[in-house]
Amino acid sequence: MLGFSPFGRKPRQFNYIPRYWDPENEEREKRLNPEKEEQKPYVPGVHIRDSRLNRLYGRDEKKKSGSSPFLMRALIALLLLVFFGWVIFKSPVVEMFVMGLTK
């Protein structure tokens, strides 16, 4: 019956033996980088809260810089619209068509 057995089965054990562990190298790293050891203890939810605050402050920095992606896209679209309108209405074909209608 799909993996069910009336006899109790021990779960598989994870036997990891660090083969290339060097205690001298670890001690040297601790001496050279003491700031890694002085990290704050983990508190559940701290990463979520920090990322939310970073996002919030990042948005404020974007607003202060004055470069909004929406504003830049709108400006480029407006310039393209003006350019294509100028090309269309100032072309000789349109002038001939307009002159033909007025005669």
* CB contact at 8 A, 94 and 88: yes
More confident residue, 29 or 55: 29
Rounded CA-CA distance 7/11 in Å is 13
pTM over 0.95: no
Q: d(Cα 37, Cα 29) in Å, to the nearest integer?
A: 10
DSSP code for 20: S
Does pLDDT of 38 surpass 70? no
DSSP 8-state class, residue 54: H
**pLDDT over 70 (residue 34):** yes
